[in-house]
Structure 1
Amino acid sequence: MASSPRSVLGVRALNRATLDRQLLLSRSAMSAYDAVAHLLGLQAQNVKPPYYQLYARLAGFRPGELGRLMEERDVVRMVTMRSTIHTHTASDALMVRPLVQAARDREVGYFRKGLAGVDLGVLAERARRFVEEEPRTMGEIREELLRQWPGADPQSLSVAARCLLPLVQVTPRGVWGRSGQVRLTTLETWVGQSPREEPEGIDAVVLRYLGAFGPASVKDMQTWAGITRLREAFERLRPRLVTFRDENGVELFDLPDAPRPDPDTPAPPRFLPEFDNLLLSHADRTRVVPPEFKGLNAHGNQSRCVLMVDGFLGGVWAGGAGGVTVELFREVTGAVEEEIAAEGEAMLAAMGEGPGKVRFGSIRG
């Protein structure tokens, strides 16, 4: 059946709905813990981004709030979706990791030449015992495994251990204002619980994904999760969901009572760090990245810190001595420039990186 005009969501409608779910239309009064749970994790390839992600989304957020959650083991850093490090609540880590395990197993297969003669079951058990004695660096894990398989490729052994086991980065790594090597132990050892043998079903995760990133297509969620074959779950849930079409005719699913604000709702400027999931969790990213700016939020394979203007990618920013430098992708009014400067200066003060100024110019590299 063809979609009626009302069931078609334009780019701005999708943008405002997504920003609302992402707590970016106005800052939320949620706690840091509740926000990490609502967002189903924060991309955390680097140490600081999760803190900046929460600052952009929460009223009154200060880095110490997330730091304490990490030290108390209520929040953890580990490899989950898309084989990248995410900051999750401990509860969600116990749920999400088993759901993406099949993808991590396939990843090991890409390194099979370097693992010739290696029994993966034995490798997993040996690595588990080693890291559960005390947290270890990846170099130490690799050396331990090379003792048993000296002819194996060292990198392949590291990848196998990282993929086969639910390894978390223990504190002080990841705690704001502190430093430390990446040391790893199993999720079970760190939080004192084991992943459920029958983890929460994918249907429940679909509903939570839509709550944080919807309206969305099946391919959108597959992009976010880094897994495939989710169509069956969406079809099971269809009676509980509402559907729309985007302007290209792609079917979008959503929760019936989820917010879908007016497309003309104001969206304030927001400074987001590199690898923010807002820009990584849909197959079609035009809801937040204008086609003419595609690729400008990255330099090679390195994501850049981005500035959202009127809800869309509008520039990039970089920190430096005495403040941040902003490179805008298009001209803005003086009033908008003042809003951007005020937001950036408030961010620097709140994150303890200031006082500092926002400069408008060109960012090299």
Structure 2
Amino acid sequence: MDATPDEIESLAELRTWLDKRTLAGLAVQGLDLTGVPLVDVAVDDTLFIGCRLSSVAAADLVARGASVVPELTHAPYPTHPSALYTPAALSAGFETGAMYDTVVYEHFVAHGGPLPPIREALSQRLHDHGIDNALGDALASWADGPVIGVMGGHAEPRGSSAYRAAAELGFSLRRAGALVLTGGGPGVMEAANLGAYIGAVGSVAPVDAVDAAIDELAAAPYFTDQRPYTAVALAVRARFATDDPWAGGLSIPTWLYGHEPANLFAGQIAKYFSNAIREDTILRAARGGIVFAPGKAGTVQEVFQAATKAFYGSDGASGPMVFLGKRYWTEELPVEALLRPLFAMASETPPVVLTDDVAEAVALLVP
């Protein structure tokens, strides 16, 4: 069943409604409608958003009761995407040196970065609204198991013990039936999505396959060497090919950190311009619990943002908060010592668990 029956996001869906001669009350999103006959179709209260239309066709639709929010064409990204990104979409153009993800980031920087002028600001907000909608559709289509967030340091090099632990975690969560969700960056985030990606392949030897992939990736361990870093990620994806659209899970990155190369192991990618919206969305989507691997300021911010949501129950039950690495979270950054007295003041809060054991973390999150 279509999770969004009032929204038309493909030409195939559109043809079904055109046969009925009505689009009244529906939303048509992000489609190229050039040459599509709409003159004899009812469009009362129809919303056309981000569609490609001639000025004559747009004027006719408005005159007959529709609302038209046009695609803004000055930017290299769609101002109302109708679907999430994929690794193939973000890496398109890599071989020619014009990778889509990089082109968009360069445009973002050239147009004010986090403080864009009015036209660019509107384009970014429209884009992020489209990603919001597409993410809602995608999560509605996932019905197999809990959505588990994995947070941690972006600077963790490929091949390190922490990277391998995060990959093992992602693999085990995927094999247990969970959807792995990360912030879409390198380091721990890439490792978790990598493990989930290998976990979805199914026919290979579990530990050997994950280790082999990491060994190959470790030839370009640091994300600062962007071209070899991306090239080897694409090679690993090709070697462990799968048709599963959810292989690797879900990631929610941002172009605010676009200097970091794209994490290409999540199957579905909700990439935002607004980091504030992105951070809130990650925590709102991770309804089955969150694993916090060692990280610095960004990870600590996510810890306390998640704690705030749990304390006030603003998004309902949020699942356990699991801290992977006892010494790190009790001695180097003793956040657990702050959470205990905070949660003692709340009527209902999630379990807070410290562990060094990936298997224990998985068993807690996916009983």
TM-score when scaled to structure 2?
0.25
Answer 1 or 2: higher relative contact order, Cα 8 Å, separation at least 6: 1
